[in-house]
Amino acid sequence: MWWEYITYFINATVLAAALRMATPLIFASMGGIFSERSGVINIGLEGMMLTGAFMGMLVTFYTNNPWIGLMGALLSGGIVGMVHAVAAVRYKVDQVVSGTAINIFAVGFTVFMLRTIFDVAGTSPAVPRIRTVALPIVRHIPVVGEIIGYQNPMVYMALILVVVVHIFLFHTVWGLRLRSVGEHPKAADTVGINVFLTRYVAVITSGALAGLGGAYLSIAHLSRFGDEMTAGRGFIALAAMIFGKWTPFGALGAALLFGFADAVQMRLQEVGIPRHFVQMIPYILTMVALAGFIGRATPPKSIGKPYEKE
């Protein structure tokens, strides 16, 4: 009886869906980690994702190749990241303000472009999408195969990305430098690290990854762009990053948790728990994390502070 209840919510189908829901969050939260570990708050993830979603669709539309579309998303996300970097690093604009501006701009920009280019409102025409693949051997493993054996390539890319970011941050020379810049830029400066350059690269990378996360929505999960289709996922990714204490695996865990909440949403509705309640979960957990209930979630120390030389 209990067992049935549990398997109704937790089973291979739901978990596979959770993984799909988590994928855009994983991309964007890895982006968030890059930026914030270098000391730059990136509240603009949402806007960067949205831009990526749109440009991914657009490039795919013209090239008929979603993989080239993905490149377009990467690039456009990087460019928006660059805008944020110039504002935050060079002009020392308040980083929250700059990020918010990017979010607002991205909504207007994508809606406007959609109308101008396609003369439609709401959703773009359908474009080819990156298709789901079946993993050769894995597919046949019981349970595991059902969860990860048959997924979109971008899901696998997201999982690999987490490992790569982890290795980059904690095992490479550049990761060490990046972290030092986010914690104590003056100390980094005094050993000869270029604080400004480091932050530029980090924030641009951040935008590029968020752009990929957005493209997952428009050219992998679905095959069209819709107005404001990111629907707050950039903020949830930010929440995942914080809940995961600014570490790749932590953020992955949080993204999976939020993805799971998303996936069971429908089933929860059936037992009478409203959808909007479920949607609150990521934010409640974030506040719990920030309040220090699960060990302290300490952000990089110099976060939000522009670096000045003299």
Partner 1 sequence: MVENILELSHITKRFPGVVANDDISLGIRKGEIHALVGENGSGKSTLMSIVYGLYQADAGEIIFKGVPVRIGDPRTAIELGLGMVFQHFMLVDTLTVTENVILHAEPHNWGFVDYKRAVSGVEELATAYGLRVDARARVADISVGQEQRVEILKALYRQAEVLILDEPTAVLTPQETEELFQVMNNLREQGTTIVFITHKIKEVLTISDRVSVLRRGKLVGTRNTAETGQRELAEMMVGREVLLRVKKEPAKPAETVVSVAGLQVRDRRGMPAVKDVSLELRRGEVLGIAGVEGNGQQELVEAITGLTTPDTGQVLLRGEPIQALSPMKIKRRGVSYIPEDRHKRGLILEYSVADNLILGLHSDPPFVERYLFRNERQIKAHAARLVESYDVRPPNPDQIIRTLSGGNQQKVVVAREFSRSPEFLVCSQPTRGLDIGAIEFIHQEIIRQRDQGTGVLLVSAELDEILSLSDRIAVMFDGRIVAVLSIDEADEQRLGYLMLGGDPQQAAGEIESGVTAK
Rounded Cα gap, residues 2 and 10, in angstroms? 12
Q: Which stretch binds partner 1 (CB under 8 A): 173-181, 199-207, 216-224, 267-275?
A: 173-181
| Binding test (CB under 8 A) with partner 1, winner from 68, 75, 133, 176 | 176
Show the CA angle centred on residue 238, arms to residues 291 and 18, nearest 5°.
105
For partner 1, the closer CB: 267 or 301: 301
| Element housing 134 (H / E) | strand 133-134
Rounded Cα gap, residues 71 and 62, in angstroms? 13
For partner 1, the closer CB: 133 or 193: 193
Q: Where are the alpha helices (DSSP H) in 38-63?
A: 45-63
Instruction: Look at residues 232, 246, 262, 281 and name the one whose alpha carbon lies nearest to residue 49.
Output: 232
- In angstroms, what is the minimal distance from the CB of 297 to partner 1? 13
Instruction: Look at residues 52, 38, 81 and name the one whose alpha carbon lies nearest to residue 216.
Output: 52
3-state secondary structure of 150: strand
| Binding test (CB under 8 A) with partner 1, winner from 62, 174, 249, 277 | 174
Contact 251, 241 (CB under 8 A): yes
Site size toward partner 1 (CB under 8 A) is 21
In the region spanning residues 276 to 305, those forming contacts with partner 1, defined by CB under 8 A, are 301
For partner 1, the closer CB: 226 or 300: 300
Instruction: Look at residues 52, 63, 43 and name the one whose alpha carbon lies nearest to residue 24.
Output: 52
What are the structure tokens assigned to 204, written together? 């641009």
- In angstroms, what is the minimal distance from the CB of 303 to partner 1? 12
For partner 1, the closer CB: 44 or 306: 306
For partner 1, the closer CB: 180 or 230: 180
Q: Which stretch binds partner 1 (CB under 8 A): 71-79, 167-175, 216-224, 262-270?
A: 167-175
For partner 1, the closer CB: 28 or 41: 41
Contact 169, 32 (CB under 8 A): no
Residue 251 phi, psi dihedral angles, 5° rounding = -65, -40
Beta-bridged to residue 123, according to DSSP, are 226
Q: Which stretch binds partner 1 (CB under 8 A): 44-52, 70-78, 111-119, 177-185?
A: 177-185
- In angstroms, what is the minimal distance from the CB of 219 to partner 1? 32
- In angstroms, what is the minimal distance from the CB of 109 to partner 1? 36
| Binding test (CB under 8 A) with partner 1, winner from 29, 38, 60, 180 | 180
Binding marks (x or -) toward partner 1, 187..226, rule CB under 8 A? Answer: xxxxxxx---------------------------------
Q: Which stretch binds partner 1 (CB under 8 A): 66-74, 80-88, 118-126, 165-173?
A: 165-173
- The CA-atom distances, in angstroms, between 39 and each of 212, 302, 305 are 22, 5, 7
- The CA-atom distances, in angstroms, between 132 and each of 80, 153, 168, 260 are 29, 6, 28, 20
Residues engaged in binding partner 1 (CB under 8 A): 171-174, 176-177, 179-180, 183-184, 186-193, 301, 309-310
